[in-house]
Amino acid sequence: MLQQTRVEAVIPYYLRFLDRFPSVAHLASASQNDVLALWSGLGYYSRARNMHLAAQSINETRPANHEDVKALPGVGPYTAAAIASIALGLPHAAVDGNVIRVVSRLTNDASESSSPAARRRFTKEAEALLDARRPGDFNQAMMELGATICVPRNPRCTECPVRKFCAANAAGTQKELPVKLKKKTAREVKLDLILLKRADQVFLVQRSDSEARLPGFMELPERRLFPRLSPVKQGEFRHQIVNDRFRVTVWKARPPAKLPPGEWRETSRLHEIPLTTIAKKALAAHF
C-alpha cells in the first residue's frame, strides 16, 4: 500500500484491510471484487490484484527464499529484498527512493538516479553496506534515515548519525543529490460524465478488462453515450492520475428508455463495489 502512496493516506485503508482480511488465507479466499472495493480510492489498483494473487500462491506454498518471494505476482526487486530480509532474515538490500538518496549522498555520486546503470551501482553499494547479521533491521533503518533525516530538499545533516561517513556532506553537495530527470508535463484530459438516477439507485457502467486504466471498476457513464439527451450541468472538478490531469464535468438527466450495458446500483451500497475515485468524487456532491 505504501508504494507511491503517503503514509497518512494509507493508514485508514490498512486498518480496514487487516480487519477484513486478518490472514493470508482470508485474503486468498476473497473475491477480487471484494479486494478492489476495499482498495477503492487508494489508486494503483494493480497492487491490489497482485497482492490477491500472491496471497493465493502463498496460501498453497510458503516462500522459502529470495527467489521464491521474487516469483510472486507484483513483487519486484525492492519488495522481494524487503520481504526476504524482514520476514525471512535473508541478506538482501532493499533499495527504494529513500535508500538511493542516502547512498548517492554517502558516495557523492552525481549519476542520474533513475538510469539502470546508476540503480545497479546504488544497489551494489547498498549490498556492501548491509549488515548480514540483521538485514531486516538494517534495511528499515536505511529507509527511515532517508525518510526522516536524509530528506530530499533540506537534509538534516547536523542530526545525521552517519554524517562523518558522508562524502556529499564533506563536499557540500548534499542538496544537489540525487540527480533526477525532470518529470513529464501532465496531459490535460476532458471528461464528461452523466448522472442517471431513479429512486435510491444510480446507473453505472463497468470498465472493460481490456482497458489500461482501472479495468473492471464501476463508474458513471460518459455523456457521449447519450447523444440525444439534453442534460443539466451539475458541476466540475479536477483529478490527477499520474501524468493525466482530468477536468471532469458532471451532467444530470432523466434515464432514457434505452440504456447502454450497465447496472443500477443502490447508493447506500456503493461502498461494496470497486468504484473509481472520479466516480466517488462525482457522486459525493449528490448523495
User: What's the pLDDT at 210?
Assistant: 74
Q: Is residue 270 situated within a structural domain?
A: yes
Same domain, 252 and 207: yes
Same domain, 258 and 208: yes
Residue 272 grid cell = 461494496
What are the pLDDT digits (tens) for 55-74?
Answer: 999 999 999 999 999 999 99
CA distance 174 to 177: 5
Q: Is residue 17 situated within a structural domain?
A: no
Same domain, 211 and 155: no
User: What's the pLDDT at 285?
Assistant: 72
Q: Which H, E and C letters describe 20-42, residue by residue?
A: HCCCHHHHHHCCHHHHHHHHCCC
Among the candidates 148, 181, 214, a domain finishes at 181
Question: What average pLDDT does range 258-272 have in this prediction?
Answer: 93
Same domain, 191 and 231: yes
Same domain, 124 and 170: yes
Same domain, 158 and 235: no
Same domain, 202 and 280: yes
Backbone angles phi, psi at 251, to 5 degrees: -115, 155
Q: Is residue 35 situated within a structural domain?
A: no
Q: Is residue 203 situated within a structural domain?
A: yes
Among the candidates 181, 203, 233, a domain finishes at 181
What are the pLDDT digits (tens) for 20-41?
Answer: 999 999 999 999 999 999 999 8
Same domain, 236 and 154: no
Residue 254: CATH number of its domain: 3.90.79.10
pTM greater than 0.85: no
Same domain, 237 and 270: yes
Same domain, 276 and 194: yes
Q: What is the DSSP string of 133-183?
A: TSHHHHHHHHHHHHHHTS-SSS--GGG-TTGGG-HHHHHT-GGG-SB-PPP
Same domain, 201 and 175: no
Q: Give me the domain span that covers residue 198.
A: 187-284
Residue 121: CATH number of its domain: 1.10.1670.10
Which of 21-30, 108-117, 181-190 holds the top average pLDDT? 21-30
Q: Is residue 37 situated within a structural domain?
A: no
User: What's the pLDDT at 242?
Assistant: 81
Number of structural domains found in the chain: 2
Same domain, 114 and 100: yes
Q: Is residue 15 situated within a structural domain?
A: no
User: What's the pLDDT at 287?
Assistant: 56
CB 254 within 8 A of CB 197: no
Q: Is residue 162 situated within a structural domain?
A: yes
Question: What average pLDDT does range 130-154 have in this prediction?
Answer: 97
User: What's the pLDDT at 215?
Assistant: 83
User: What's the pLDDT at 211?
Assistant: 72
Among the candidates 140, 159, 181, a domain finishes at 181
User: What's the pLDDT at 212?
Assistant: 64
Question: What average pLDDT does range 244-263 have in this prediction?
Answer: 94
What are the pLDDT digits (tens) for 203-246?
Answer: 999 998 777 678 889 999 999 999 999 999 999 999 988 889 99
Q: Is residue 151 situated within a structural domain?
A: yes
pLDDT bucket at 126, cuts 50 / 70 / 90: very high
